[in-house]
Structure 1
Amino acid sequence: MSGSAASCDVAVAGAGPAGAVAACLLARAGLSVLLCDSRLVDGAAPAKPGEALPGAAVRLLRACGLPLPGDSGRHTHVGGNISVWGWPEPIYRDFLSEPDGPGWRLDRAAFEAELVSAALAAGARALPLNLARVARDDTRWRLWSRGGAEWRVSFLVDASGRAASLARRLGATRRRDEALVAVVGRARPDPAYRLNRTLVETVPQGWWYAALLPDGAPVFMLHSRPHEAARLLARPEEWRAALADTRHVAAAFPGAVFDAPLSGHDACGAWLEPVYGPGWVACGDAALSFDPAAAQGILAALHGGTEVARAIPAAMRGELGPLRAYAARLLEMRRLYRQRLIAHYADEQRWPEAPFWREHGRVTA
């Protein structure tokens, strides 16, 4: 392609849940689609810490004709939540009583690969690359990969996750809420571990999330302030000591053995301004990301992918109403999310002088 540019209708930057779903549905609508992500190798997605998928998301996948977690056998059911937040004793929530039934504990790499495969089967083309340069040329985009290949594209989708790298390059601003970093450790699988619920426990320096992944390995995440997270990443023995000091998380996974380094991940809520512009739109975490305490990130990403897939064909015909409606729904989603998150953090009053809880206790909409 060095001599001439290839053409397509839509390029999607990012092959996570939002991007893969958008690419799949756009291709089914008859558009030519490029699904671009430097992490893609033979349609596979990179390993991630893992996440739960609520039953409502399974309903959304079924309605869109997308792969269900139960189809592959790579994912396991989540029976419910155990929450130790605001008081010392746990509160149990059983998903079997929920209208949508139990959720799923995902093998994230497998789940994202399944969605990418659905997009490829629908006719999308996966390219294992980042878009190095983007320029507007009349009513179309010109895209260049780092290898020098060039495409002409009518519409762009930023599904690049929290980085929102494409939208920010086009002039959008990503605005962040209270700083939050998750320090993640994965322990060796152990057949003695049987917990099929998500476990959350607050501590003075933040809050812990623990779960058993489908391969039998427990994953632990301490959500804390950036300064504390940086200290623990530099001193993993102190992270392990903090885990051992928990009352419920440590008891659920006794004798956990860690033989891999810890990792740190940005976990704060954030939003993009604007969320769309001439010839482009953002979805998933690039458009609106959530504090993990809200437990709605992956469901919102899937929903965002379906929404932009419905709005883009109209936008390509010059009809911007669906994009405006999408942006309005994101604003309302954020308003409700912040309202609930503020109330949730306010429930924990046991350590009012601890820096983490003092900071998160002052959050406002």
Structure 2
Amino acid sequence: MGALLVAAWLAGGALALLGCAWTLHLLRRPQPQPTAEPPVLVVVPVRGAEGLPRFLAGLAAQDWPEFRVVFAVESQVDPAVPLLRAALPGRSALVLAGPAARRGQKLQNLLAALPALRPGDAALVTLDADTAPPPGLLRALLRPVLAGQAEIASGYRWTLAAPGAGWAAQSLALVDAGIGTLPRCAACNICWGGATAIRADALARLDLPRLWDRAISDDLTLTRAARRLGMVIYAPLTVRPPGEVAGDAASTLRFGIRQYRLLRLHLPRAWALAGLAAGLPVLGAGAALLGGHWAAFPAALLLQAGRGWLRRRIAARVLPPGEAARVPAWQPWLGPPAALLHLAAWLGSAGGREIAWAGRRYRLGAAGEVLRLRTEPG
């Protein structure tokens, strides 16, 4: 049994290496382009002003010719409001969504912005304000939905540890890089709310006001509905906006548990697969240590070094040069703590239906719907 676990661990590492190599190959392939550049609506739910100037600068630099932006905040007292009122003059608007009573506050903000859609808008784009979108992000995100490849396109955050961040933030960046640099398939793609485009004809079928009425997760709820309706979710590999993390071990673990708990409630099969990916390195390394399979460790380090080299090559193609230079080539000392933290987050998500998020605590139903919420003190 121990030898099988070791073999499975190394096989998983080899498959991840091949996946990175295939992603690099796919990035070189030419892609079909849309024949027109129609107007689109971009919706950005915002809470707080931390990192917002960087996001607004990236949004203003987008090279898509016709896009309007609606920023949505909970209330007038949000510190982001002065910045948002001055952002992108002539093509932006600000809406006050009010406090959520039956859904996640992010969903409350998104729904408050939807009436801004116009009949001529070719797509709806949702972006998170805690990233730094490069100038071509909108074009890369809209390309597959306007070129007829899919009804929905969605990217993934490239997580970078902030300068001076500790091992936990670096571990989160390492785990996220492993997810973000793998190739995608239409049957298993999952939407990420930080950068998603939905074609206009799909919006009517999805009925977002109904879909998001009691939801807490915009992207996982959207993924589940799209699969049920037979829609294709395309994942453009160049849509990887960078975002920084700097939390300690406790906050990073809470974040991981929350994300995996949401995944378990919305997409349990994907959650189980994530558990296999999280558990295999720890079980395999433990079996190698207990069974004296010492040759497995240099082999695992060699595979890790290969993945690090390929991820640097991928980063050079999808991130701005300054951000790509921050992606480490190899962190051999970080593998064990990152694997343990990853597995702890997944195990911590195995039970419970409560989510603490942005100052609110939500009680969820078996399918991830909000049953009740309360505002936490402070």
Q: Which has the higher helix share?
A: 2
TM-score normalised by length of structure 1: 0.28
TM-score normalised by length of structure 2: 0.27
Q: Which has the higher strand share?
A: 1
